[in-house]
Amino acid sequence: MAGRLTGRSALVTGAGSGIGAATARRLAADGARVFSVDMAGAVDRHADVTSPGINAELVAEAVARHGGLDIVVPCAGISAFHPLEGHDDAYFDKVMAVNVTAVFRLIRDAVPALKLSPHGRIITIGSTMARFGDAGLVAYGASKHAVLGLTRSAACELGPWGITVNCLQPGAIETPMTEPAFTQMPEFRSYFEKKAALGRLGQPDDIADVIAFLASDDARFMSGQGFFVDGGAMQRQ
């Protein structure tokens, strides 16, 4: 039986591990032809999304390989605890370059191809930090606020072409990026497990499944939104 994304082309960055890898697998399982990108891992193209001009190149390659582009998911991202006092400019700039500027560039460069698609979809990866702050996450929190704002403005601009733009806002997800913190600080893991109404950390597939929904026709009238996928953590104090 054909999947709900059969015949559609997707470009996923950060696809070497974690949420990006799960997303690439899920979109492919639903029938999409996926062009996967990361700096490492088993992907179609190794690339640093912060390099000038690379995102336009990736879009062109995805279009050439699959004959068009329907779905764009910028999953590449970084995060680490960094106290505000003594926070150096270089790390802040790096977080913004990966989490915001690269997302902006990919969306911008994908627009011409997406305008040609009858099923244009952009799904960004934000965070619950786009609504709530937390100590040690100044750069990360700022970047995820920016991603949500970018998402909502892009949705307004691209709506006339039928392109939807939405933002997934995960809670605490167990990925290679977060694993060091959960391993080094067991109390950190326990805190988020207890905070979630569902009583566990999220897994990459929990996010990828919602991304696949937003990429499908089932979500055709949903745009400009930020969706919490956090196991009910933000409902509890």
- Given a cut of 80, is residue 180 above it in pLDDT? no
Active site (annotated) includes residue 140: yes
Q: Give domain status of residue 125, yes or no.
A: yes
**Parent domain of 125:** 9-173+203-228
Distances (CA, A) of 207 to 26, 31, 137, 202, 228: 10, 18, 21, 8, 10
CATH number assigned to the domain comprising residue 62: 3.40.50.720
Q: Give domain status of residue 142, yes or no.
A: yes
Q: Give domain status of residue 1, yes or no.
A: no
What distance in Å separates the CA atoms of residue 66 and residue 53, rounded to the nearest whole number?
A: 21
Tokens 């709506």, located at residue: 159
Please compute the mean of the pLDDT values over residues 150-178 and round it to a whole number.
92
Please compute the mean of the pLDDT values over residues 124-132 and round it to a whole number.
86
Q: Which pLDDT band, with edges at 50, 70 and 90, does 198 fall under? A: confident
Residue, of 130 and 158, whose pLDDT is higher: 158
Q: Give domain status of residue 118, yes or no.
A: yes
The structural domain count of the chain equals 1
Please compute the mean of the pLDDT values over residues 21-50 and round it to a whole number.
97
Q: Give domain status of residue 188, yes or no.
A: no
Identify the burial level of 67 via C-beta atoms within 10 angstroms of its C-beta, where 0-12 means exposed, 13-18 middle and 19 or more buried: exposed
Active-site entry in 35, 140, 182, 228: 140
Q: Give domain status of residue 182, yes or no.
A: no
Residue 5: CB atoms within 10 Å:
25
Q: What is this structure's pTM?
A: 0.93
